[in-house]
Amino acid sequence: MSLNPTSGPRFPILLVEDDLAIIDIIQRATRACFPEADIIAISTFEEAVVYLYNLEGKGPRLLLLDVFLAGGQTGLDFLQLLKAHPLGKLLPAIVLSQSARHVKDAYQLGAAAYFTKPFSFPDWKQFMLDLRLFWYETATLPQTYFERQQELLHG
């Protein structure tokens, strides 16, 4: 399989993760195995809400969401907020965690998938290859267009 960076359209992925080491490894694995993807890294619940509230035009095609975030609110809190929004419910959310403890909660809140985080760089590369194969090459996703005045917090 050839990974030609100019082979297809860009695929923005919103990553909500507070661990800088995980952000770095995901970005490196993405460059190596999913060249069409553009990672938009955000580290807190509040920053994620502000990002989506201020988004204008095409939105991300996929959300990678850590369960535990710095601050008082979790990734699952963000998922609940996102899925209550008419456009947010169209965004597939993949929840990532160190354990499988929150699987049921994530799916009940509308997650498309739940994964325990890989531990090694080769495992992260395989994760990104699998992500690319399914979400970029196989699945058909709706394109969402955001308008700045759409209030994410109040639908």
Q: What is the mean pLDDT of the segment spanning 45-71?
A: 90
Average pLDDT, the chain: 89
**Dihedral, 21, 58, 10, 122 alpha carbons, nearest 10:** 30
What confidence tier does 148 reach under pLDDT thresholds 50, 70, 90? low
* CA–CA dist 144, 133 (Å, integer): 21
Architecture of domain 16-136 in this structure: 3-Layer(aba) Sandwich (3.40)
Residues 90-132: pLDDT tens digits? 999 999 998 888 999 999 999 999 999 999 999 999 999 999 9
The residue-averaged pLDDT of 81-88 equals 87
State how far the alpha carbon of 124 is from the alpha carbons of 5, 23, 64, 128, 150, in Å.
19, 11, 13, 6, 35
Question: pLDDT class for 67, splitting at 50, 70, 90?
Answer: very high
- Please give the Cα distance from 17 to 22 (Å, whole number): 8
Assign 42 to helix, strand or coil. Answer: strand
